[in-house]
Amino acid sequence: MAPRRILIDTDPGQDDAVALLTALASPELDVVAITTVAGNVPLPLTSRNARMMVELAGRTDVPVHAGCPRPMVRTLYTAEYVHGPSGIDGAELPEPTIPLAPGHAVDVLVDTVMAAEPGELTFCTLGPLTNVAMAIVKEPRIAGRLAGLVMMGGGFFEGGNVTPAAEFNIYVDPHAAHVVFTSGVPITMLPLDVTHKALTSDARIARFRSLGTRAGDAVAGMLDFFDRYDEEKYGTDGAPLHDPCVIAYLLEPSLFAGRRCHVDIEHHSETTMGMTLVDWWGVTKRDPNALVIDTVHADGYFELLVDRIGRLR
């Protein structure tokens, strides 16, 4: 079976970094390009961090294109309080040597989709949806040409992680999320409702460290750092490993389950700004616009991640 062709839009972030390494280590996926967006940390850092992961994976064949430095309407809100000042604290890696690839991420997203056959490409988003929304505004036809968009973002029964109502990726750019969720692109949404069931633990992190490789050590170091904020916030032994759920879903969808729902994005009220209103019970009778995932086989998820990271040096 031919590898699935994907583009990954990301704001690394330790969890993004693990997702990138997993994708780059998986022969089932053809990572056509990586595009970076402002989110966890400002764009220069997310672009630095993505290039560091490409080099760590030995995949400098994959271009990294920088995208939007701020949300479509709101000012940028970042999360150094979670990820540290670099965005990937705990990684202990050298600065990247490869340059950014020429071309703005928004143009690359549009041009790549328009040059491909309909249904050939899948977008994977791990951060705020600014780049993808701007691409849809620039060339609305891409929504109908994509095989799908698989995204980490939102929350419903789990509420939010930035405000009681809003998860970070949607909160940062709710207007972009509104554009994407009303574009008609086939969406698979992996919200906090599923990622909060995929918790790291000392034992699970030790599995990465036991690989005895640079990649395994980098993942263990990043997760040790990344865990501390959510462990203190939620009082759990471990933190939700959000973004690799997107890649794991593509690799082994049988690890996940959910249902098709209509999802609205709050982009007016400051009180609930960025809320993903998931019509889980179908009470609005509105046509579903997303497959909303709420279940994961956590052991299988971490087995998959260890197996893939274990393929890197």
Which spans of this chain sit near Ca ion (rule: CB under 5 A)?
A: 11, 13, 16, 126-127, 243
- 110 vs 126, beta carbon nearer ligand RIB: 126
CB of 205 to ligand RIB, least distance (A): 17
Pairwise CA distance, residues 264 & 147, whole Å: 21
Pairwise CA distance, residues 240 & 127, whole Å: 15
Q: Pick what 167 binds: ligand RIB, Ca ion, none; C-beta below 5 to 8 Å, kind-dependent.
A: ligand RIB
Of 193, 195, 177, give the one whose Cα is nearest residue 185. 177
Per CB under 6 A, contacts with ligand RIB among 169-198 are 169
Q: Rounded to the nearest 10 degrees, what angle do helices 298-309 and 244-251 cross at?
A: 90
Per CB under 6 A, contacts with ligand RIB among 232-251 are 242-243
Per CB under 6 A, contacts with ligand RIB among 1-20 are 11, 13, 15-16
Pairwise CA distance, residues 119 & 115, whole Å: 12
Pairwise CA distance, residues 247 & 78, whole Å: 23
CB of 115 to Ca ion, least distance (A): 27
Q: How far apart are the first and last CA of the chain?
A: 26
Place of tokens 């939102």: 154
Phi, psi of 153 (to 5 degrees): 170, 160
Pairwise CA distance, residues 7 & 2, whole Å: 16
Per CB under 6 A, contacts with ligand RIB among 71-130 are 126-127
CB of 102 to ligand RIB, least distance (A): 26
Q: Could you say whether residue 230 binds ligand RIB (CB under 6 A)? A: no
CB of 84 to ligand RIB, least distance (A): 12
Q: Pick what 161 binds: Ca ion, ligand RIB, none; C-beta below 5 to 8 Å, kind-dependent.
A: ligand RIB
Using an 8 Å Cβ cutoff, are 35 and 110 in contact? Answer: no
- Of 160-168, 174-182, 210-218, 231-239, which part binds ligand RIB (CB under 6 A)? 160-168
Which of 22, 36, 78, 161 touches ligand RIB (CB under 6 A)?
161
Strand 64-66, strand 256-261: pairing: unpaired
- 190 vs 220, beta carbon nearer ligand RIB: 190
Per CB under 6 A, contacts with ligand RIB among 26-45 are 39-40
Pairwise CA distance, residues 178 & 174, whole Å: 6
CB of 304 to ligand RIB, least distance (A): 18
Q: Is 196 a catalytic site residue?
A: no
Catalytic pick among 196, 242, 262, 267: 242
Of 80, 70, 245, give the one whose Cα is nearest residue 155. 245
Which of 88, 106, 136, 152 touches ligand RIB (CB under 6 A)?
152
Ramachandran sector of residue 112 (left: φ over 0; alpha: ψ -120 to 50; beta: rest): alpha
Number of Cβ within a 10 Å radius of residue 262? 19
Catalytic residues: 242
Positions in the binding site for ligand RIB (CB under 6 A): 11, 13, 15-16, 39-40, 126-127, 152, 161, 167-169, 242-243
